[in-house]
Structure 1
Amino acid sequence: MKMAICKRIHIIGSVGSGKTTLAKEISSRLDIPHYELDNVVWIRHKSGDIRRTEQEREEYLNSILQSDSWIIEGTHNEEWVSNCFHSAEVIFFLDTKYSIRTYRIIKRFLKQKLRLEKANYKPTVEIFFKMFKWNRYFEEVGKVNFFNKYGIHKDKIKVINNAKYIKKYFN
C-alpha cells in the first residue's frame, strides 16, 4: 500500500521510540491531523491534567476515528484502542532499540527541564523514572500483547527498526 493513499495511520511504540516525531512528519507531508492517545486519555490544564472518564475517552476517540483522515499515535494497545487498529489503513510499529529509547528519555527530560522542549505534563523526577518503567514494560509485555492481540492485522502492520525504512516507504 503506498503512503500517499493512506489516510488513516496508527503509530505505536514505546516511550522514546519516535512516535510523535514520526506523526508530526507524516502529518505535515500529507496534511493529515495527528493525535496523541495520551491527550485522548487526559484533558490538559495548566493547573494539572484531568483524566477523562471511560465514556468521554471513547466518545473523543470515536469522533477522531469517524473523520476521513487521521494519524493516531501512542503506546496504548488496550481494548479501548482496538478500533484504531481495525480502522487504520497502515499500522507503524516502532521497534526502536531499547538503548536508543533510554537515551531519548534522558535527553527529553533534560530538554524539558531546561525549557528547550515543551511537555504536555510537568516533567518531574517521578515521571522521569516512570518513563523507564514504562519503557521496560513495553519491551517485556506491551510488545508481546500487541502482536498477540493485533497480529490479525499483520497485512497492514509495518515494523520499523530505523528511520531509513520510513524514508524508503515515503519514496
Structure 2
Amino acid sequence: MKTKTPKKVHIIGSVGSGKTTLAKELSSKLTIPHYELDNVIWIRDTSGEIRRTEQEREEYLNSIIQSESWIMEGVHSEEWVSNSFQRADLIIFLDTKYSTRTYRIIQRFIKQKLRLEKSNYKPTFKIFLKMFQWNRYFEDVGKVHFFNKYDIYKDKIEVIQHTNNIREILQRKK
C-alpha cells in the first residue's frame, strides 16, 4: 500500500544542518508554504527583532499548523512546538555530521558579512560564536532530548544524514 505525499512536514536539525535549504527545496517541489520557527518566535522589523509573547507565538504557530499544508523547520523541540510534531505527516530529522555543520556555520557567517547571503538577523561575531555553542548543545543534548520526547512519533520520523536522501524518502511516501 502506498502512502500519500506528505502535506505537513516538520524538519528539525541543528544550526547548519540544512533545514532552511531543504525546506525551501521541498516547498518548491511540493508547492507547500514553508515557515521558520525562528520567525514564529521573532517579529523581524527594520528597527530590530521583537520577541513575541508566549501567547502570540503559540497563536501564530497554531494558525500555521491548522492550515491544510505546511513545511515547518527549526532547531526547537520544546513543549510549545509539540503540536507541530503531532500534526505532521512526516518529521525529518537532519543528522548531518558535526564537522559539516561547523563548516557551514563558518561559511554562512563569511557570506553574510560579505553580503552574499541574506540573514534574518544581524550577523554579529557574538551570534557567530553562539552558533558553535548551539551546535554543540544540539549534538550533546538536543538530539537525545528529541528522540526521548518524540519517540511516540517514530513511525513518521525519517533520520537523514544527507539532504540528497530526501528524494528516496519522498518516493517511499508517494
TM-score (norm 1): 0.97
Instruction: Show the counterpart of 2:77.
Output: 77
- Report how far residue 156 of structure 1 moved: 0.2
CA–CA separation in structure 2 for the residues paired with 1:4 and 1:86 = 17
Q: Deviations over 1:72-106 (max 9, x none)?
A: 00000000000000000000000000000000000
Instruction: Show the counterpart of 1:102.
Output: 102
Instruction: Show the counterpart of 1:52.
Output: 52
Q: Deviations over 1:114-141 (max 9, x none)?
A: 0000000000000000000000000001
Instruction: Show the counterpart of 1:18.
Output: 18
Instruction: Show the counterpart of 2:169.
Output: 169
SS at match of 2:64: helix
Q: Deviations over 1:2-23 (max 9, x none)?
A: 7862000000000000000000
CA–CA separation in structure 2 for the residues paired with 1:114 and 1:29 = 30
- Structure 1 pair 154/45, CA: closer, same or farther in 2 (3 Å)? same
155-164 vs 92-101, greater mean Cα deviation = 155-164
Structure 2, unpaired ranges of 5+: none
SS at match of 1:6: coil
CA RMSD of aligned residues (A): 1.3
- Report how far residue 167 of structure 1 moved: 2.3
Instruction: Show the counterpart of 1:92.
Output: 92
CA–CA separation in structure 1 for the residues paired with 2:169 and 2:21 = 16
CA–CA separation in structure 2 for the residues paired with 1:75 and 1:47 = 25
- Report how far residue 47 of structure 1 moved: 1.1
SS at match of 2:76: coil
SS at match of 1:121: coil
Is the Cα contact below 8 Å between 2:5 and 2:170 reproduced in 1?
Answer: no
CA–CA separation in structure 2 for the residues paired with 1:148 and 1:32 = 29
How many residues are matched?
171
Is the Cα contact below 8 Å between 1:3 and 1:170 reproduced in 2?
Answer: no
Identity of aligned residues (%): 73
- Report how far residue 162 of structure 1 moved: 1.2
Structure 1, unpaired ranges of 5+: none
- Structure 1 pair 104/2, CA: closer, same or farther in 2 (3 Å)? farther
Is the Cα contact below 8 Å between 1:4 and 1:30 reproduced in 2?
Answer: no
CA–CA separation in structure 1 for the residues paired with 2:101 and 2:132 = 9
Is the Cα contact below 8 Å between 1:3 and 1:169 reproduced in 2?
Answer: no
1-10 vs 139-148, greater mean Cα deviation = 1-10
CA–CA separation in structure 2 for the residues paired with 1:170 and 1:48 = 38
Letter in 1 for 2:166: I
TM-score (norm 2): 0.95
Instruction: Show the counterpart of 2:156.
Output: 156
Instruction: Show the counterpart of 1:129.
Output: 129
CA–CA separation in structure 1 for the residues paired with 2:15 and 2:95 = 11
